[in-house]
Structure 1
Amino acid sequence: MHYPSLAALTADAARALSSGPVCLILIEDAVAVDQTIRHHAALGFGCVIAFCDPAIALLDDVPLHRVDHDVTRPEALQEIVNTVSAAARGAWIFTCYNAEFLFFPFGEDRSVREMLTFVTEERRDSVMTHVIDLYARDLTAHPDAVDLDDAWFDGAGYFATPRLDPVGEPLDRQVEVFGGLRWRFEDHVPPARRRLDRVGFFRAAKGVVMGPDRRFSDPEYNTYACPWHHSVTAAICSFRAAKALRRNPGSRDAIAGFHWPKSVRFTWQAQQLLDLGMMEPGQWF
């Protein structure tokens, strides 16, 4: 279904958003669009919605909704998330951009619906995800830093710091995660975009909204685990930072390459990320 606006989508919410979980893909450019859509459609989402400029061509052999929307505006993600969640209360919602790929524990054998069923049984309303910056090894052959056949990521250099409240006290079970390209080349990345932690999944609920910093108004949504034990976390493997560093004239001229001794070739398998501690199954076995 093609919707000319976000308002048109929500006006048809009873039909468009009736089958969850819902996957929202914000398409900023024409890079890896088909691969992003196919990857997420195969994970078991009940509904895939692509938001993009009308000029961008999308697949016609994969079931999805298309919404004409300018996703390049700074407030686009917040606007889309809050509008869709208000129209789809109770639904699980996942968000990503093109050239980003979701991986979750045991994803080779289980569906995203199975994972969220378990999370719901644990009385959780969100799943913390960590962004893994992907990049091409050869920037001469791949000047936009995107190479799906030979993708790499940093196997070390990640760290987390406690998230603090306005008076400087640590918030319960909330951290801010750093690393990857945004850490190694932080001089070229605005402070607000250096974090790797992201609430990838959340359950739409009345009064719960996403703020400008991608955190939610309900503090529990921003936690990485239950109070009593570790919870499921997931990973979003993303070329987005690499694309931005190559697109910006200042960083493009200053960075000769992204590959370094701690680079690891990406196998496109969830088990690799589990083995490296990039995500965890919690109590899900």
Structure 2
Amino acid sequence: MQYSGLNEALKQGVTGSGKRPLGMIFCEDQTEVNTTARHLMQLGFSPVLLFMPPHLTLSPDVAERTARIDFEPHHPGAVQRAVSRVAAAAPRRWMHYCYNAEFLFYPFCETRSVGEMLAFHTEERRDAMLTYVVDLYAGDLKHAPDAVSLDDAWLDRSGYYALARSDAPRGGAPKERQLDFFGGLRWRYEEHVPPERRKIDRIALFRAKRGLVLREDHTFSDEEYNTYACPWHNNLTAALASFRTAKALKRNPGSSHDIASFRWHNSARFEWHSRQLLDLGLMEPGQWF
């Protein structure tokens, strides 16, 4: 199904009446659009909404199983407004948002559906899940000049850190159970990344409600949504394996010529398996075993 815009899509009930988690993909270009959509459908998201400019294309199998919405993701604030509007249209529904060439992983995702995982998370009285954006990059930029290669994907196995998130209204005091996380390509090539875009944390899984607003820094207006755990114990976290930063660094004329290879002594080949991300500490199983 294709819609001329989000207004028409919401009017026609694009979110559906089911209880399965809803997925949103914001397509900035053609890179791995179909692969990203298939990945979410395989995890158990339904429906999957594709927000994309009219000139981009979909394979027939993906077009048949998803809802396409004409959209310009590069407009300032467009993604945040769209996520907030979809959240208001389907309150209490679990949702996920990402960009094309980003792939969601959570503990044991190879054998357990996203619905099972979120049911457990809900039982722990959590309405959101912290997600780390883990940068992926092609190992050989001569063969993959756009830095995207599913067959030759690499990631950083170290270099990640967290800083206390300050609360301006409270004189800069640290916010409770909130941290700013850094690492990956945004850390190694920070001279090419604006300071406000260097964080790698995102609340990519959340339970929708009316009045909930996604902010420019990928946090929500409800501060409890931005916490990494409840007050009593550690909770589940997830990861987004993402080519988005590598792709941008190679396409940006200001940084492209400075990068002959993204690989360094702490690079490791990405195994496309949740166990690797768990072993590297890039997501947590919490109390879910």
> What amino acid does structure 2 have at the position aligned with 1:57?
T
Partner residue of 2:35?
Answer: 35
How many residues are paired up?
A: 284
1:157 and 2:175 aligned = no
Normalised TM-score (structure 2): 0.96
Secondary structure, aligned partner of 1:67: strand
**Which of the residues 254, 258, 261 maps onto 1:257?**
261
Shift of 1:3: 0.9
**Which of the residues 119, 132, 135 maps onto 1:133?**
135
- 8 Å CA contact 2:15, 2:22 repeated in 1: no
Between the aligned partners of 2:98 and 2:59, the Cα distance in structure 1 is 17
Between the aligned partners of 1:279 and 1:16, the Cα distance in structure 2 is 29
Partner residue of 2:279?
Answer: 275
Shift of 1:79: 1.2
- 8 Å CA contact 1:16, 1:65 repeated in 2: no
Secondary structure, aligned partner of 1:16: coil
Shift of 1:50: 0.3
Alignment of 1:1-285 (within 5 A): 1-13=1-13, 16-19=15-18, 20-62=20-62, 63-166=65-168, 167-285=171-289
Unaligned 5+ segments in structure 1 are none
Between the aligned partners of 1:146 and 1:224, the Cα distance in structure 2 is 30
1:47-104: per-residue Cα shift (whole Å, max 9, x none)?
Answer: 1000101111113213111100111113121011011111111111100000000000
Secondary structure, aligned partner of 2:216: coil
Secondary structure, aligned partner of 2:49: strand
1:84-142: per-residue Cα shift (whole Å, max 9, x none)?
Answer: 11111111110000000000000010000001100111110001000000000111111
- 8 Å CA contact 2:157, 2:266 repeated in 1: yes
Secondary structure, aligned partner of 1:132: strand
Shift of 1:16: 3.5
Between the aligned partners of 2:195 and 2:9, the Cα distance in structure 1 is 34
Shift of 1:18: 2.0
- 8 Å CA contact 1:137, 1:257 repeated in 2: yes
RMSD value, Cα: 0.9
- 8 Å CA contact 2:15, 2:90 repeated in 1: no
Between the aligned partners of 2:261 and 2:17, the Cα distance in structure 1 is 45
Runs of 4 or more, structure 1, over 4 Å off, are none
Between the aligned partners of 1:214 and 1:158, the Cα distance in structure 2 is 19
Unaligned 5+ segments in structure 2 are none
Between the aligned partners of 1:58 and 1:79, the Cα distance in structure 2 is 24
Between the aligned partners of 2:275 and 2:218, the Cα distance in structure 1 is 28
Q: Percent identity?
A: 54
- 8 Å CA contact 1:103, 1:237 repeated in 2: yes
> What amino acid does structure 1 have at the position aligned with 2:6?
L
